[in-house]
């Protein structure tokens, strides 16, 4: 028998603070040699110190203005959590305290007896509490050492290593982005960040179940590797169920493990989005000592195969993901932690974010190596939604020491997460690190490192060995980017995966077309968040692009300058903050759309694109499509269009112009595509029809006749058909002789919102409706619409507040809510 009881109640928190610091608007003073004890405050578990200090009104919201600047002391403070729980003695063979996540350097004590210590945020821990527990009240204490204090000691002991940021985060197994990033704040605190339980058991318990799945000739094969902790040398049974199919395996005295195989004829396969249904099978294991069930485990699995084809070809080396033998064109986004404070990210929030990804026609999430291994809820939702997951091991943008204790910690962390995440069919690849091999080659590391370790032993030796040993069903790749051979430059575009950052950092976004990549794992372009988010994150008055708080929420090096470079190249001069906000968001969407359209036009040579990034962890100017308060930026709408199964795009070739038609659906696409040539006024001066027939998962390249190609000041656009409208402009908006926007509007109220119909009397370029300016919770169904005279579009706005207010409805159809580039 097993009894599991969460210990999430009654926690309090205290910190030994090196004075003086500012706490709750007052300065706490004391002798430098004698820390000041902050009074015990209520603590939430699971949770983190920053959230508890905020709940106790001891700090201001770190997400507003430059409050973050005042909170550096949190990461340099030792923190102690305590609670008391009741225990009634019973005859248990095992009494364990199980922690699913401790951040990070902790000493665990029960009734004054030290049970153990931890040094890794990214793994689970279990401590034997039999000798320390007592009848009645029990005091449980978790004492955290400052992450900075620990990391700096390790750095000084082992010698410094290069890091993209001047922080010691590579000397502690803690989320690298906790120490700040070019889109995130430095809030490197501590906490019991995942559940904690008291687990009492008799005879034996299930320590681990690793499901390994394969499909052979249509037959689904599930191998369950079960490992037990046994307190008694006795015969046991494992009763295993796979959706109504049963299997009993004996675990004789003297054994602590077993292998169970299920074979399912004509198994229904798990498929990613756009390729079929993500079929899941429930599976369970009961540990039995007749007649008692001692313990149980349950999950869901999917029958599917996954391959990563990286065999060299005549062009270099592909990076082709295949599921069930089917090549997948990866329509991806990079994922960072959805909040700096992970306790805020619950099942509902994961569901909202991943549903937004699916609604944008995304089929793949890359979990980036500077964050965390996400909760089981995240991967289970990806299983259900058919979202592929490419998972990094947690190393990013730095040289990592391989000496102890780090080698052992990395091994334990990898084993733990390989086993924990093994059930999830959505998880299809493991990658050794983010940009560290690239850093060793290109970022002037080698001279600084000398003969010191930097992580190569993890990426090339330890991690591939563990993936094969523990999992054995998923491909591993040493790094992102990585070209497949140590002798090759890791970001060689003809070989496997690349990151494209010269465009954002140094060049115009049209230079994406200068690349010819096999697979793009990172590329991105910045923009500020939605208006309602901006107004919460900064209180500057008047609000301008470079007011102090706006600049604090721009973490990228010369980020504002790079945004301005993009505006100068493409758009008319900004007149005010409203223009700046709208134009930068439009430019972000255009940049990424151009890149993805071009990469998709290269298929099958290019096999996927993963945009940096889907989400934000706080309100900030960044590369995200969904901002830190969960609002959609125009980029999200662009992704929805450019990742659609059926895509038409105009692509230059020499002095000519091609129409590339991509059919990524399971059905053939036959029909007629019409497009128009227009002058700057939007008058149609030429029409053409293209008859085409394209097989499933294929493309066609059609060279336009010279007479169809627009001349200086003219443009092309396709008709409004069953695919996103394609456009081609011969001049940038700043040089185009656009007429002033003219249009009429009509507002119709329905239950829960309004429908706004816009009829164009002139060209309307990238028309958007920013309803969050009137209601922060408003949702709009579309954006970035280009119309010619006589065309109409209807925006559906979900907002009860706007539906109930004639004044808001009037504001809905005027600037700065309704915008076009030529308004």
pTM of structure: 0.96
**Architecture of the domain delimited by 743-819:** Sandwich (2.60)
Question: In what helix (H) or strand (E) does residue 436 lie, and over which residues does it extend?
Answer: helix 436-442
pLDDT at 31: 46
Which of helix, strand or coil describes residue 469? helix
What are 215's strand-pairing partners? 220
Roughly what angle, to the nearest 10 degrees, separates helices 577-601 and 634-642? 20
pLDDT at 314: 97
Which of helix, strand or coil describes residue 161? coil
- Residue 182 C-beta-side C-alpha neighbours within 13 Å: 16
Same fold, 646-729 and 743-819: yes
Token representation of residue 720: 């409004």
Question: What gap in Å lies between CA 771 and CA 805, rounded to an integer?
Answer: 13
Which of helix, strand or coil describes residue 676? strand
Residue 32 has a CB neighbour count (10 Å cut-off) of: 8
pLDDT at 307: 98
Instruction: Enumerate residue ranges in the chain where pLDDT < 70.
Output: 19-37
Question: What gap in Å lies between CA 461 and CA 301, rounded to an integer?
Answer: 29
Which of helix, strand or coil describes residue 503? helix
Mean of per-residue pLDDT scores for the chain? 96
Question: What gap in Å lies between CA 515 and CA 491, rounded to an integer?
Answer: 12
Question: What gap in Å lies between CA 411 and CA 406, rounded to an integer?
Answer: 8
To the question of domain 203-301 being in CATH 3.30.70.100, the answer is no
Which residue from 182, 170, 228, 188 is spatially nearest to 204, judged by alpha carbons? 228
Question: What gap in Å lies between CA 690 and CA 626, rounded to an integer?
Answer: 36
Do 475 and 308 contact (CB within 8 A), yes or no? yes
User: DSSP states of 70-124 as a string?
Assistant: GGGGGGGSEEEEEEEEEE-----SEEEEEES--BSEEEEEETTEEEEEEEBTTS-
Query: What does the domain layout of the chain look like in residue ranges?
Result: 2-198, 203-301, 317-528+589-641, 646-729, 743-819
Residue 574 has φ and ψ, to the nearest 5°, of -80, 145
What are 45's strand-pairing partners? none
Q: What is the pLDDT of residues 182-235, one digit of tens each?
A: 999 999 999 999 999 999 999 999 999 999 999 999 999 999 999 999 999 999
Cα dist from 19 to 34, 37, 179, 391, whole Å: 8, 10, 22, 41
Which of helix, strand or coil describes residue 449? helix
Residue 217 has a CB neighbour count (10 Å cut-off) of: 5
Place of tokens 């100017």: 621
Residue 706 has a CB neighbour count (10 Å cut-off) of: 9
Question: In what helix (H) or strand (E) does residue 238 lie, and over which residues does it extend?
Answer: strand 236-242
Token representation of residue 490: 């890791």
Q: How many Å is the maximal CA-CA distance in the chain?
A: 90
Which residue from 567, 619, 617 is spatially nearest to 590, judged by alpha carbons? 567
Number of residues that make up the chain = 823
Strand order in the sheet with 764-769: 785-787, 764-769, 818-819
Class of domain 2-198: mainly beta
Which of helix, strand or coil describes residue 69? helix
Please pick, among 402, 435, 522, 629, the residue that the annotation labels catalytic: 435
Task: Provide CATH code, domain 317-528+589-641.
Answer: 3.20.20.80
Do 283 and 211 contact (CB within 8 A), yes or no? yes
Which residue from 422, 398, 336, 366 is spatially nearest to 626, judged by alpha carbons? 336
Catalytic (active site) residue 409 = no
Token representation of residue 372: 């965390």
User: DSSP states of 186-223 as a string?
Assistant: E----B--S-EEEEEESSEEEEEEEEEEEEETTEEEEE
Which residue from 69, 70, 85 is spatially nearest to 8, judged by alpha carbons? 85
Do 526 and 588 contact (CB within 8 A), yes or no? yes
Class of domain 646-729: mainly beta
CA geometry: angle at 139 spanning 137 and 143, to 5°? 170
Question: What gap in Å lies between CA 137 and CA 111, rounded to an integer?
Answer: 9
Place of tokens 């029960």: 110
Question: In what helix (H) or strand (E) does residue 744 lie, and over which residues does it extend?
Answer: strand 743-750
Q: What's the Rg (C-alpha) of the chain?
A: 28
DSSP class of residue 564 equals H
Which residue from 684, 670, 482, 698 is spatially nearest to 600, judged by alpha carbons? 698
Place of tokens 């309803």: 771
Question: In what helix (H) or strand (E) does residue 678 lie, and over which residues does it extend?
Answer: strand 669-678
Question: What gap in Å lies between CA 416 and CA 339, rounded to an integer?
Answer: 23
Q: What is the pLDDT of residues 13-33, one digit of tens each?
A: 999 887 666 655 555 554 455
């Amino acid at each position: 028998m097993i009894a599991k009881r969460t210990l999430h109640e009654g926690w309090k928190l205290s910190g030994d603070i090196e004075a003086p610091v500012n706490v709750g608007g007052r300065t706490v003073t004391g002798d430098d040699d004698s820390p000041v004890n902050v009074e015990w405050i209520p603590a939430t578990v699971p949770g983190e110190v920053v959230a508890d200090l905020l709940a106790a009104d001891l700090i201001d919201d770190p997400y507003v203005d430059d409050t973050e600047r005042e909170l550096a002391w949190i990461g340099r403070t030792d923190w102690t959590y305590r609670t008391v729980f009741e225990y009634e003695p019973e005859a248990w063979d095992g009494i364990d305290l199980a922690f699913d996540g401790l951040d990070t350097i902790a000493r665990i004590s029960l009734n004054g007896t030290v049970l153990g210590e931890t040094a890794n945020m990214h793994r689970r821990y279990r401590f034997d509490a039999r000798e320390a527990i007592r009848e009645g009240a029990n005091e449980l204490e978790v004492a955290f050492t400052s992450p900075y204090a620990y990391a700096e000691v390790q750095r000084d002991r082992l010698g410094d290593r290069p890091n993209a940021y001047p922080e010691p985060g590579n000397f502690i197994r803690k989320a690298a982005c906790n120490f700040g990033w070019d889109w995130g704040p430095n809030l490197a605190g501590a906490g019991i960040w995942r559940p904690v339980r008291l687990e009492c058991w008799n005879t034996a318990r299930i320590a681990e179940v690793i499901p390994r799945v394969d499909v052979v000739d249509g037959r689904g094969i599930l191998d369950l590797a079960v490992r037990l902790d046994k307190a008694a040398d006795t015969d046991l049974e494992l009763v295993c169920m796979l959706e109504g199919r049963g299997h009993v395996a004996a675990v004789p005295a003297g054994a602590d493990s077993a292998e169970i195989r299920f074979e399912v004829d004509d198994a229904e396969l798990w498929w990613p989005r756009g390729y079929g249904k993500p079929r899941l099978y429930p599976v369970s294991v009961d540990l039995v000592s007749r007649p008692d069930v001692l313990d149980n485990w349950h999950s869901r699995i999917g029958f599917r195969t996954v391959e990563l084809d990286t065999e060299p070809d005549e062009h270099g080396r592909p990076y082709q993901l295949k599921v069930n033998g089917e090549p997948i064109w990866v329509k991806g986004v990079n994922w960072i932690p959805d909040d700096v404070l992970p306790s805020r990210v619950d099942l509902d929030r994961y569901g909202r974010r991943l549903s937004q990804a699916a609604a944008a026609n995304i089929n793949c999430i890359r979990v980036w190596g500077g964050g965390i291994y996400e909760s089981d809820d995240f991967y289970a939702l990806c299983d259900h939604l058919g979202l592929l997951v490419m998972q990094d091991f947690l190393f990013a943008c730095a040289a990592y020491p391989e000496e102890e204790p780090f080698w052992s910690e990395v091994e334990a962390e990898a084993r733990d997460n390989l086993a924990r995440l093994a059930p999830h069919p959505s998880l299809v690849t493991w990658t050794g690190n983010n940009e560290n091999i690239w850093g060793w080659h290109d970022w002037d590391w080698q001279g600084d490192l000398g003969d010191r370790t930097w992580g190569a032993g993890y990426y090339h030796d330890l991690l591939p060995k563990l993936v094969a040993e523990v999992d054995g069903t998923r491909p591993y790749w040493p790094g992102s980017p990585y070209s497949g051979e140590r002798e090759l430059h890791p970001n060689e575009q003809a070989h496997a995966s690349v990151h494209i950052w010269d465009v954002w950092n140094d060049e115009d976004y049209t230079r994406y077309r200068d690349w010819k990549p096999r697979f793009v794992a990172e590329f991105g372009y910045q923009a500020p968040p939605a208006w309602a988010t901006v107004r919460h994150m900064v209180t500057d008055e008047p609000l301008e692009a470079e007011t102090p708080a706006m600049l604090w929420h721009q973490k990228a090096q010369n980020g504002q300058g790079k945004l301005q470079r993009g505006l100068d190249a493409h758009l008319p001069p900004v007149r005010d903050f409203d223009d700046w906000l709208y134009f930068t968001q439009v430019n972000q969407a255009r940049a990424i759309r151009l890149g993805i359209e071009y990469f998709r036009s290269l298929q099958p040579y290019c096999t996927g694109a993963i945009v940096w990034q889907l989400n934000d962890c706080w309100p900030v100017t960044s590369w995200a499509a969904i901002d830190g308060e969960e609002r959609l930026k125009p980029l999200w709408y662009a992704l929805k269009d450019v990742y659609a199964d059926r895509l038409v795009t105009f692509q230059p070739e020499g002095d000519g112009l091609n129409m590339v038609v991509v059919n990524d659906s399971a059905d053939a696409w036959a029909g007629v595509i019409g497009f128009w040539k227009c002058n700057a006024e939007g008058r149609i001066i030429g029409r053409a029809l293209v008859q085409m027939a394209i097989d499933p998962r294929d493309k066609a390249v059609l060279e336009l006749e010279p007479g169809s190609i627009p001349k200086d000041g003219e443009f092309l656009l396709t008709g409004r058909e069953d695919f996103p409208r394609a456009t081609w402009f011969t001049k940038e908006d700043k040089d185009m002789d656009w007429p002033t926007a003219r249009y009429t509007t009509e507002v119709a109220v329905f239950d829960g919102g309004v429908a706004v119909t816009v009829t164009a009397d002139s060209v309307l370029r990238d028309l958007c409706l920013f309803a969050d300016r009137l209601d922060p919770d408003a949702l709009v169904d579309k954006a970035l619409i280009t119309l010619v005279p006589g065309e109409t579009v209807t925006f559906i706005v979900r907002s009860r507040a706007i539906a109930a207010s004639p004044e808001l409805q009037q504001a809905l159809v005027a600037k700065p809510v309704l915008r076009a580039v030529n308004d």
